[in-house]
A and B are shown apart, each in its own frame.
Chain A
Amino acid sequence: MSAVTGVLTRLRLPRPPGAAGVFLRRLAVIPVVLFALASLVFVAIRLLPGSPATSLAGGGNTASAEEFSANEERVAKALGLDEPLLTQYGDFLNDLVHLRLGTSFYGSNSVLGLLGDALPATVELTLAAMTVAVLLGVVTGVVAALRRGSWVDTSTRAVATVSFSLPWFALGVLAIVVFGVWLRWLPVLGRLPSALDYRPTTGFVLLDAILQDRPELVWPWIQHLILPTVTLALSMAGFITRIVRASVLEVLGDDFVRTARMKGLGEGAVVRRHVLRNAWLPIVTVLGLQFGSLLGGSVVSETVFSYPGVGRLLVQAVLQRDYPVVQGAALAIALLFTLVNHAVDLLCTVLDPRLRKG
């Protein structure tokens, strides 16, 4: 169960029986979580030391003290920071509900527009990374479990341990040097070459390639996606490998596996039809939990590869002290995280009817 639902199950909400009831209860919980996350973002940006007004008024130029404080006041007024905190909080929530996320301090881009451009890119990247990580993690995990104690098992576990907290940026940068600079196999930056003149309809390249009937978009898109995806996936695959290995080992000892073998099923069929089906649940649960660190990883990874996603948007906004964008990007990431977590929880209830009783 995810940390998010963990909070809520402890609130002891009434539990309607049946799968539909569970579904509705989980859906009802999402706004509550989002409210909490939004409040956290609000607190982080407004209440901690270092007011946006101070840093904006400073702005790099050495103004006199009076000029500075006048500047500061002006900025604070423009941002509504001179209002009482409770009023600010009310305004913040009101704007949020109406999806008024403001405009960037730099240029006149609306935050919503910036997010609309960046979110599909991040979703593409994280989905691709998750897919690769699951494939890699499940295969290595199953092999390690079946060859328990062999050198394959030992080395897989060592690699899995290392990959758990690898600094993604260092790995990504080294991958760029090897595959992009030395071997020249893959492009090193961006999402698509500008020469292709990609104009998003949905923002998802694959969908747009179909909608706009431009198949020439697909191959460069895949090429650009390979390095960031693999870098991100490696960090996650190690964790999945460990869980898969443990969970397969546990199932392998069960009676029904012995029965399956005794009735003459081949080892491959035993693993596919009996072991994996029962080992899926912990794997899916972990996927949900790991999605948070995947999103975190994408913040760094997008910057490394100059990939135009929400993570890069957030980092640039933080460095430029572009607070409306920081707020919007942080909320978008938190929203993505919460939604995926709940989707995973639902998937778990589908996979294992026992969980429906809560």
Chain B
Amino acid sequence: MSETGAAVDAAPARAAAPAPAARASGPPPGASRRRILGALRGRRVARSWPALLAWLLLAGLLLVALLGPLLVQADPLRQTSSELLAPGSPGHPLGTDDLGRDELARLVHGARPLLLVSFTATALAACVGALVGLVAGYAGGVVEQVLMRLVDLALAFPSVLLVILLVAAAGPGTVSLILGIGISLAPGLARLARTLTAREAAKDYVVACRLGGTGAPRILVREVLPNIGGPLLAQVVMTLSIAAGFAAGLSYLGLGIQPPQPDWGYMVQAGQEFLFSAPRLVVLPATLTLLFVVACNFVGDDLRDALDPRGTA
């Protein structure tokens, strides 16, 4: 919105001002941008032992994904035809798979796609959701109606189906997976962001900014976003575990990163052929996936308690 636009808007805003003023007791004008990160300060995370365990597990898996490939010498793609489905040995601590590839190397390298997709898709969902929610909540009127009805429509669709359709249209691959999961998780966040924004926009300090001639984008980014950041971020971290579950499930279905690149989800599917001869090919990646998603879940729960103690989200 331009400066003149804001000035024109000021007249109805002034007329409407007394009503919200009665119940508005928002933060002082110019609330700090640090508030989003500051939401965590002074509140302790990992207070219970399951939460602590989950934090450690998640940190461990992240370390494996980042540093593991540097530490494990074996090539996850090299096939040794003399050692198909070999059991554990000094050369291959966890044995080899059906093509004679080192299982340990594949597990270590296979962590990256899942972690990458989970985190990037969550970030995408957060950005899209926050943007749509902020605009809809602040603009109101027709813009809000159109955006929110679209959100309702997306929510009325089973989200796995939505992701699968998006991936079907764009073709399997990491990027499709990120886009699909990100877009299908955005509507839930958009709905929350809209509610929070609409509540915040009625408060004195926002009205004051608008009357002072601040443009809408600046108000949204500098004033509204920092003040709704806590509950919104709390929901975002909860979204992470859902994204992780999706990412794992869809790569299991073969819709994610394509073979021969290692990936836990796809390794489980490929290993299912050898359930009876080498169950470890299924058990190891499935257990790691399970641990990762559960850790995300607990960490998300823990962070939510810390970020949004009143349970606004």
- Please tell me which one of the listed residues B168, B275, B297, B298 contacts residue A318 in the complex, with CB atoms under 8 A apart: B168
Chain A binding surface, main DSSP class: helix
- Interface segment out of the listed B70-78, B83-91, B194-202, B237-245: B237-245
A173 adjacent to B286 (CB under 8 Å): yes
| Complex contacts, A182 vs chain B, CB 8 Å | 279
Flag if A170 contacts B242 (CB, 8 Å).
no
Contacting chain B: which of A48-56, A78-86, A251-259, A345-353? A48-56
B215 within 8 A of A: no
Contacting chain A: which of B95-103, B217-225, B248-256?
Answer: B248-256
Cβ–Cβ contact A44 & B165, under 8 A:
yes
**Complex Cα spacing A299 to B253, Å:** 9
* Contact across chains for A4 and B272 when beta carbons are under 8 A apart: no
Interface size on B, residues (CB 8 A): 49
Q: Within the complex, what minimum Cβ distance (angstroms) separates B285 from chain A?
A: 8
CA A169 to CA B282, docked complex, whole Å:
11
Q: Which of A49, A165, A304, A318 contacts B164 (CB 8 A)?
A: A318
Contacting B248 at CB < 8 Å: which of A164, A170, A333? Answer: A170
Tell me, yes or no, whether B301 is within 8 Å of chain A by CB: yes
User: Is there a chain B Cβ closer than 8 Å to A123's Cβ?
Assistant: no
Provide the bound-state CA to CA distance between A295 and B169, in Å: 20
Structural contact, B159 and A36, CB atoms closer than 8 A:
no
Q: Which of A120-173 contact B (CB under 8 A)?
A: 158, 161-162, 164-171, 173
Minimum CB–CB distance from A241 to chain B (whole Å) comes to: 15
Is B290's CB under 8 angstroms from A44's CB?
no
Contact residues in B for A300 (Cβ distance below 8 Å) = 160, 249, 252-253
Interface residues of B: mostly helix, strand, loop or mixed?
A: helix
Are A314 and B164 in contact, CB atoms less than 8 angstroms apart? Answer: yes
Find out whether the CB atom of A166 lies under 8 angstroms from the CB atom of B164: no
Cα A45 to Cα B249 in complex, Å, equals: 21
The chain B residue sitting closest to A5, CB to CB, is B156
The segment from B17-25, B61-69, B147-155 found at the interface with A is B147-155
A1-51 contacts to B, CB under 8 A, are 2-4, 6-7, 10, 33, 36-37, 40-41, 44-45, 48-50
B301 to chain A, nearest CB (A): 6
Nearest A residue to B255, CB-CB: A318
**A333 and B158 contact, CB distance less than 8 A:** yes
Chain A, residues 305-316, CB within 8 Å of chain B (1/0): the string is 000000000110
Determine whether the beta carbon of B152 is less than 8 Å from that of A6.
yes
Known: A6-B152, A158-B50. A169 touches B249 (CB 8 A): yes
B239 (CB) vs chain A CBs: closest residue: A165
**30 A-B pairs with C-beta separation under 8 A:** A3-B155, A7-B152, A10-B149, A37-B157, A41-B165, A44-B165, A50-B170, A50-B171, A55-B171, A158-B50, A164-B297, A165-B241, A165-B242, A165-B244, A165-B297, A166-B245, A166-B293, A168-B249, A169-B248, A169-B249, A169-B268, A170-B252, A177-B282, A292-B157, A292-B159, A297-B160, A299-B160, A300-B160, A319-B255, A330-B164
